[in-house]
Chain A
C-alpha cells in the first residue's frame, strides 16, 4: 500500500555526498534501491543481496557480497566481516564504482586508482593478512572457471599456478630453488595492474538524470 514516505534529511544527504562523492540525486536513487533490497528496513543483510537473480548467475557472487560486508572497505579503521550494514556503508562500498569526474588532478586520479585496487585486493585477500597467497588466488580462479565445463579442475589449478608464477617472476626476478614465494603484497598488486585502465573498467554509469528527478 502506498504509505507516505518520510522525506529524508537533506542535511544527511549532504554529508554523505561529501564523503562519497555521489550527487544528491544519485544518493536518493541508491537509497530507494537500498530500501527495496532490505525490504524497507534500515540494515541490509547478506541474504537480501543473495535474492537478486541477476547476481546469482555471477561466478564470483559470494566474493562480491562479502565485499559489501567487509570492514576494510568502510574506510573507518574497522577490520573483519560484519553481519549487517546500514545505508552509509552501502554507499561507501558503491563509491568504489563511482564514475570518474572530468575535473580531477593527477594526484586525485592516482588516489582513486589506489582505492579501487585496494578494494579488489581485499576481495582476493580473504584472511586479511596483507598478502594474496597461492591458495587464495587459486580459490578465485576456480570460482571464475567452470567446475564441470570445458575446463577441468586440474586445468583451473594449472592456470592459477601459472599466473602466480608469472607474478612471482615479475616481482622478485629469478627465484632460487629454495626460495618460497609468500604471496602477492599490495605493492606487487599495484605493479602488476599498473597498465590496466581501472577508471574505465570499474565504474557504473548512471543514466542521464533529466527525466528522473526527486520530489522535494
Chain B
C-alpha cells in the first residue's frame, strides 16, 4: 500500500513547492518590489479598465433580459421620493393669508390654519429626509457583480449568473488570499522597520529613513487593497507645520493619503494589534497618540496639537474633522476643534468610485474585521484625491466660519453635497437649538406682519 502512495506523495510535494515558489516570485516581482521603489507597471489600471467593460456588458445584458421578460428594473432613487415645497416659510404664509382671508381675521395674525404648514413639513420629513439617506451606503445605477450592492437583481439570465459565480470564485479564491498575504507583509514590515529605525539617534538620517520606510509599507498596503488612486494637484501637498484636513469615508482614507506623503497621525491609543503598530510607528517619527482619559480634556489636546505644529521639523498632522465615516455622497459638519489651532490648513478631498467596491464603513452595522473582509473581497477600490490650495483663518473669522469655508471648498472639489448637518447624528439626536430656529422664524413672520399693519 505504501509503495503506491510514495511516488505520488513525492510528486505532490514537488508540485506544491514549485507552485508556491512561482506564486511568491510573481508576487515579489510584480507587487512588492514596485511598491518598495514607488513605481508601477500599470497592471492595476489595466485590471480596472477590463472590469469596467465587463460591468457595462453585464448591465446591458440585464436591461435586455428585463425587457424580454417584461419586468421592471429597480433603479434606486437618488433625488428623493417627494417634491418638497420650495417656497420659504414667509412666502407660504403670505399666500395662505391672501387666499384664506374670508374667515375675517385677515392681516398677519395668528390663524388656526397656520399649523398646516408645519404639519405638512413634518410628515414630509417622515417620508423622506436628507440626513438619514446619507448614512446608508450609496445605491448604484448599474450592477458591479457584487450581490451586496444590489440585492434586487435575482436571476435574469444564465450567462449573468455564471459570470457572477465566476466573479465570486475569483474574488474569494484568488484575490482575497493574495491581498491578505500582502496586508500581513505590509503591516509586519512596518512594525519591523520602524522599530529598527527607532534605534537610530535623532537626526536627518532617521527622518529620511523613516519616511522611506513608511511610504514603502503604505504602498504595499495600498496594493493589498488593490486601490487605484489618482492624485490631483500634487503641488499643493501639505508641508511641515500645517494641518491636513480631509473628508472621511473609511479607515482606508489614512492609507490612501499616507502612501503619497508623510503625515503625523492623531488618535487614541488602542490595545491589541493596533496598539503594537502605534507604538512601533511612534518610535521612528513623532505621531500624536492620546490616552483615553486625555481625549476629554480639550485644552490638553489643543496644546499638544499646537506644540506639534509650532515645531517646523515635524510632519503635518492629518485630521478628519467630520468625526465619523460618511457615505461619500456628501460632506457633513466639520467640528471646529481642529480649526482653532493657528496654522495653515491644507484641505484634501477624497472621492471614491462606487462602481468597484463600496468603501463606506457603517460602524454601527459592521465591525472592523467584517469591514476589512468586505474591502478585500471587492473588485478594487478606485478613488481620486485632490489636494486643494492651503487656507488660513482670516481676520474676524471665527473657527466655525473657517471650518464651513474649508468644508465648502472640499465639497465643491470632490463633487459632494455640502450639508449643514452634524456627522454625530448617525448616533445622536438634533440639538434643541435647531427647533428654536424654526420657532423664531415663525414668530418673526407674525411680529413682522403686525408691524406692517400698524404702518398702513
Q: Is the CB of B439 within 8 A of A59?
A: yes
Q: Is the CB of A60 within 8 A of B131?
A: no
The 6 closest A-B pairs by CB, nearest first: A56-B430, A54-B125, A215-B74, A146-B439, A64-B122, A149-B440
Binds B, one of A44-52, A81-89, A171-179: A44-52
Partner of B132, one of A50, A52, A59, A68: A52
B100 at the interface (CB under 8 A from A): yes
Residues of B within 8 A of A49 (CB): 126
A145 at the interface (CB under 8 A from B): yes
Binds A, one of B77-85, B235-243, B260-268, B399-407: B77-85
In the complex, what's the smallest C-beta–C-beta distance from B27 to chain A, in angstroms? 30
Residues of B within 8 A of A55 (CB): 122, 125-126, 129
Residues of B within 8 A of A170 (CB): 104
Which chain B residues have a beta carbon within 8 Å of chain A's beta carbons?
71-77, 79-83, 96, 99-100, 102-105, 109-132, 136, 146-154, 366, 421, 425, 429-430, 434-440, 442-444, 446-447
Q: Is the CB of B123 within 8 A of A204?
A: yes
In the complex, what's the smallest C-beta–C-beta distance from A87 to chain B, in angstroms? 13
Centre residue among B126, B149, B150, B429 by max chain A CB count within 10 A: B126
Known: A54-B131, A59-B438, A204-B127. A159 touches B115 (CB 8 A): no
Residues 144-176 of chain A: 1 if any B CB is under 8 Å from the residue's CB, otherwise 0? 111111110000000110110011001000000
In the complex, what's the smallest C-beta–C-beta distance from B159 to chain A, in angstroms? 19
Closest to B434 in A: A57
Question: Cα distance A202–B152 when bound, in Å?
Answer: 34
Known: A94-B127, A145-B443, A204-B123. A56 touches B105 (CB 8 A): no
Interface residues of A in 188-202 (CB under 8 A from B): 192-193, 195-198, 201-202
The count of chain A contact residues (Cβ–Cβ below 8 Å) is 65
Interface of B is mostly: helix
A16 at the interface (CB under 8 A from B): no
Question: Cα distance A3–B429 when bound, in Å?
Answer: 28
Which chain A residues have a beta carbon within 8 Å of chain B's beta carbons?
1-5, 29-30, 33, 36-37, 49-61, 64, 68, 94, 97, 120, 123, 140-141, 144-151, 159-160, 162-163, 166-167, 170, 192-193, 195-198, 201-207, 211-216
Q: Is the CB of A207 within 8 A of B440?
A: no
Q: Is the CB of A201 within 8 A of B442?
A: no
Closest to A189 in B: B112
Q: Is the CB of B447 within 8 A of A61?
A: no
In the complex, what's the smallest C-beta–C-beta distance from B128 to chain A, in angstroms? 7
Having A49-B126, A53-B434, A193-B113, one finds 18 other A-B pairs with CB under 8 Å, namely A2-B150, A33-B81, A37-B132, A52-B126, A54-B125, A54-B131, A55-B125, A58-B125, A144-B439, A145-B443, A150-B447, A159-B446, A193-B112, A202-B120, A205-B83, A213-B75, A215-B71, A215-B72
Question: Cα distance A163–B115 when bound, in Å?
Answer: 13
Known: A58-B121, A59-B435, A207-B82. A145 touches B148 (CB 8 A): no
Partner of B118, one of A1, A59, A151: A59
Jot down 17 A-B pairs with beta carbons below 8 A, ordered by A.
A36-B132, A53-B430, A56-B430, A57-B430, A58-B118, A59-B435, A97-B120, A145-B439, A148-B436, A149-B436, A193-B103, A196-B100, A202-B116, A204-B124, A211-B77, A213-B75, A215-B71
Closest to B154 in A: A4
Centre residue among B103, B119, B127, B446 by max chain A CB count within 10 A: B119
Closest to B447 in A: A150
Question: Cα distance A49–B132 when bound, in Å?
Answer: 11
In the complex, what's the smallest C-beta–C-beta distance from B76 to chain A, in angstroms? 8
Question: Cα distance A200–B77 when bound, in Å?
Answer: 25
In the complex, what's the smallest C-beta–C-beta distance from B306 to chain A, in angstroms? 33
Question: Cα distance A1–B434 when bound, in Å?
Answer: 34
Closest to B73 in A: A215
Q: Is the CB of A144 within 8 A of B118?
A: yes
Partner of A150, one of B81, B136, B430, B443: B443
Residues of A within 8 A of B121 (CB): 58
Question: Cα distance A37–B133 when bound, in Å?
Answer: 11
Question: Cα distance A89–B113 when bound, in Å?
Answer: 25
Residues of A within 8 A of B75 (CB): 211-213
Question: Cα distance A211–B72 when bound, in Å?
Answer: 10
